[in-house]
Amino acid sequence: MLKEFSNKVQSLQPSAIREILKFTADPTVISFAAGNPAPEAFPTDVIAKLSADIFAEEPINALQYSITEGYPKLREWLRDDLTKKGMFKDGDNIVITSGAQQAIETTAKILCNEGDVIICEDPAFIGSLNAFRSYGVKLVGVPMDSDGMIMDELEAALKANPTTKFIYTIPNFQNPTGKTTTLERRKQMLELAKKYGVYIVEDNPYGALRFSGEDVTNIKELDDSKHVLYCGSFSKVLAPGLRVGYLLGDAEVIAKATVGLQTSTVHTNIWAQMLTYRFLTTVDFDAHLAKLRDIYRNKCKLMLDGLKAELPDFIELTSPEGGLFIWGTLPEKYNMNEFCTEVVHRKVALVPGNAFSADESAVSHSFRMNFSTPTDEQIVKGVQILGQAAREILK
């Protein structure tokens, strides 16, 4: 029968965020709904120069087929850097992917049969949830408090779901909540993964964007037992349009992931990999990151200070120490979807929290706000509109 899609994708829907972003095609709408890096964070002049260098020095290498594993020099740089950081262990390997999203998708493809379980933070990043759904996986969400996943609930979920293949987590400045998992919780999560014989897929797109507080050790660094598959990305620290990310973990798993990637994209755009390598080895990367952190620290402060001044006290707000998102939660008596709908009619776009739920039909009282994409002027104006809407609607 034509038009009969596979079971695994039949009910797969476009990301709810994309539907909201349609409103933002209207240039008068202020979007707090996206997740794009700030355009001023792109080192455009340096990239233009490095790209010209590539075409002057090795144009054929930048245009010919390459190997699935990734550009060797970039993989070597990553291996050295991640070894220094205690992340790359003996017996590990790295494969370059077309964004961390492809790394995440590939873990589901190679590890999960239809009906298997992936345990995730609830709420969690919609792109990953949809990638998991696209393999017919059952998602089991574990609620979070301000320290991350609640460990008793995680253990209960692991006990109740013996076909669990991995725990998916964004421990730093999580998307959508902005929450950071504490060191204690990371250690506990790793112990539970070992106890129940499951992987942890640690997704860390924002880790380098900490603008306050102290770094918390990555779970990959804590792990000496090959239980962690680590997804890294250059989207937030260089540019997302390049689509360069990577998967780090047990060499046997990386080998299988590589075979999977060979049947998909064959390899990641090679110019983008060469450009990333040249960027990492040409510029002062730490200084570049410091500049990004300054941008996001200022934008986050601007939005958060504004929200605290404008919104009623009963709206809970997270205070992220990095990343791109603030998470707001209404008291249960209010209807979050009605609030978001009213607000978008007033020309500010938020993302309703249920977009990030493991169970999309669950009721959510939360909404996600992004501070990296809007200009400072848009942040100030958007926050004012939000405040006025809240005062008028939430009575």
Residues 23-82 that bind a second copy (CB under 8 A): 34-37, 39, 42, 44, 47-48, 51-52, 55-56, 59-66
- Work out how close the CB of 296 gets to a second copy at its nearest, in angstroms, rounded to a whole number: 16
Per CB under 8 A, the list member of 20, 82, 92, 105 interacting with a second copy is 105
Q: x-or-dash pattern for a second copy, window 339-368, by CB under 8 A?
A: ------------------------------
Kindly state the smallest distance separating residue 223's Cβ from a second copy, in Å. Answer: 12
Shortest Cβ 63–a second copy spacing (Å): 4
Report how far residue 304's alpha carbon sits from residue 236's, in angstroms, rounded to the nearest whole number: 21
In which element (H, E) is residue 79 found? helix 72-84
- Dig out the tokens for 183 from the structure: 């060191």
Amino acid at the residue 75: R
Residue closer to a second copy, measured from CB, 72 or 312 = 72
Is residue 287 near a second copy by the rule CB under 8 A?
Answer: no
Q: What whole-number distance in Å separates Cα of residue 247 and Cα of residue 70?
A: 11
Euclidean distance between CA atoms 46 and 110, whole angstroms: 37
Q: Shortest gap between Cβ of 124 and a second copy (angstroms)?
A: 14
Looking at residues 174 to 233 of the shown chain, list those that interact with a second copy (rule: CB under 8 A): 197-199, 226-227
Residue type, 234: F
Q: Nearest approach, Cβ of 272 to a second copy (angstroms)?
A: 5
Is 255 within 8 Å of 93 (Cβ atoms)? yes
**Could you give the CA distance from residue 84 to residue 305 in angstroms, rounded to a whole number?**
37
**Which residue reads 């790359």 in tokens?**
88
Burial of 264 (C-beta count, 10 Å sphere; 0-12/13-18/19+)? middle
Nearest to 348 by CA among 19, 23, 17, 22: 23
34's enclosing H/E stretch is none
CB of 263 to a second copy, least distance (A): 4
Of 9, 160, 290, 309, which one interacts with a second copy (CB under 8 A)? 9
Q: How far is the CB of 326 from a second copy (least distance, A)?
A: 20
- Taking the least distance from each CB to a second copy, the nearer of 228 and 336 is 228
Closest contact distance (angstroms) between CB of 60 and a second copy is: 5
Region binding a second copy by CB under 8 A among candidate stretches 94-102, 142-150, 208-216, 381-389 = 94-102
Q: Candidates 74-82, 167-175, 180-188, 248-256: pick the segment binding a second copy (CB under 8 A).
A: 248-256
Looking at beta carbons only, is 39 or 86 nearer to a second copy?
Answer: 39
Among 91, 115, 143, 241, binds a second copy (CB under 8 A): 241
Residues 6+ apart with CB under 8 A from 33: 17, 20, 21, 23, 24, 349, 350, 351, 368, 370
Of residues 366-395, those binding a second copy (CB under 8 A): none
The residue within the footprint of a second copy, chosen from 161, 182, 217, 269 (CB under 8 A), is 269
Mask 113-142, x = binds a second copy (CB under 8 A)?
A: xx-x----------x--xx-xxx-------
Site size for a second copy (CB under 8 A): 82
Q: Whole-number minimum distance, CB 307 to a second copy, in Å?
A: 25
Site for a second copy in 140-169 (CB under 8 A): none
- Strand ranges (E), the chain: 30-31, 92-97, 117-122, 138-145, 148-149, 164-169, 199-203, 228-233, 245-250, 316-317, 325-329, 348-349, 351-352, 366-370
Which residues touch 62 (CB under 8 Å, ≥6 apart)? 54, 55, 270, 271, 274
